[in-house]
Amino acid sequence: MRTVYFGRIRVLDLSGESTDRDGASTDHRPQTNPRPRLIISSHRNGAIDGHQVLAAFPRAQFLISIQLIRSWFLRLFIAGIPVVRPKDVERYNLDPTSVASPVEAGTAQLRRGGDLGIFPEASSEWGHRPQPYKSGAARIACTLLEEGIDLEVIPVGLFYSTPDRFRSRAEVVHGKSITIPARNGQDRSVWEAEVSSAMGSALDEISVNCPDEETFERIQAKALNVARRTPGRAATFAKAFLDLQRQGDAETSLDAQHADGAEAVSDVEELGPVAATLLRWVGLGLMWLYTPVLAAAALAGSRADGRNTVTFFRLLGGFAAVMVWVPALIVAAFFWPLVIGIGIVSAVCGWLLLGLRRFRL
């Protein structure tokens, strides 16, 4: 569902490690004694963020709010280690002792040599900078380091060109492993604060972190324009955004700064907004066979309580419609195979058209 909505998730690897052909980090860890990895990620787009991180770390388990796995339907999309937050206790009248604490659950996963994903902001928000980071990730790291466990901590930045639009760009930035400050005899609380600060600084380096909303909107628009105009695999929205952010949104052109300076920007002029909108409607029109699914997704998205939850609501509504509509299409294929076949080919063409680099949102 993630791939259908966004397309293939690009992974920009800044760690210096090798990557596989799909962009995800190649895991060369010994299977008998793997080194545990604590993956700390920015949180931009609600429950869908975990699926984005999985594009780079497919074996990761996440600490997730218990509200996300309370129904069988949600469990079709989400799995992880349940955490009862204070607001969950009040909202659902739950006993917080019925599940392990976040720190206990996280350390248990890492002691087994697994990958653990955490969103230190605790909740997502579509804004110009991260929300305040919580200390849970630092507490987990300090606990394991005290036990002598060789832990790797990896920061991950998530980028969306338009978080609430079908077939917009979604990219993951795999940062360099964080150097955890040594304790040096300090009090545990002081050490945890230093570790938390190091984690926050590493995340800020590879995440959306603008001084104000106006700057964020300006960089967002410029980065999208750069990604549209840059040819081939060098067309990465995340890299363009980070370049602009580090430069303080300098007005100088980034034309020669993509793909480590190896690629040049296309001389073709950018499509105008009218042409891009028209082509987008053509792409959606070509998907006429799946109109009920698109309509259900749009209706569900309209019920979202914020821009950062629209995609997740759309995926839920669209999947519910798929469960009904696809069986109906299978039956219809026995009676009108040519019509259904043409509709499927048309839908694929529309999906590909919506993902064309030069006008993709």
Specify the amino acid at residue 271: L
Query: How many residues would you count in the chain?
Result: 361
**pLDDT value, residue 80:** 75
| CA distance linking residue 334 with residue 330, whole number of Å | 7
The torsion angles phi and psi of 64, rounded to 5 degrees, stand at: -130, 150
**pLDDT value, residue 83:** 74
- H or E segment and range at residue 224: helix 213-229
For residues 104-126, b (16+ Cβ closer than 10 Å) or e, as one string? ebbbebbeebebbbbbbbbebbb
For residues 295-320, b (16+ Cβ closer than 10 Å) or e, as one string? ebbeebbeebeebbbbbbbbbbbbbb
The CA-atom distances, in angstroms, between 287 and each of 45, 94, 294, 322, 353 are 25, 44, 9, 14, 11
Label the pairing between strands 170-174 and 152-160.
antiparallel
Residue 82's nearest CA partner among 135, 94, 54, 93 is 94
**pLDDT value, residue 74:** 72
> Residues 283, 312: contact at Cβ < 8 Å?
no
Please list the pLDDT of the chain residue by residue as tens digits (361 residues): 778 888 889 999 988 764 443 444 445 454 555 789 999 999 999 888 988 999 999 989 888 777 777 777 777 777 777 777 666 666 777 666 666 677 888 888 899 888 999 999 988 889 999 999 998 899 999 999 999 999 999 999 999 999 888 999 999 999 999 999 998 889 999 999 999 999 999 999 999 999 999 999 999 999 998 988 887 776 789 999 999 999 875 544 444 444 444 343 333 345 566 777 888 899 999 999 999 999 999 999 999 988 999 999 999 999 999 999 999 999 999 999 999 999 999 999 999 999 887 778 7
Its pTM stands at 0.84
**pLDDT value, residue 319:** 92
For residues 211-244, b (16+ Cβ closer than 10 Å) or e, as one string? eeeebbeebbebbbebbbbbeeebbbbbbbbbbb
**pLDDT value, residue 271:** 56
- Degrees (nearest 5) of the Cα angle 246, 307, 237? 35
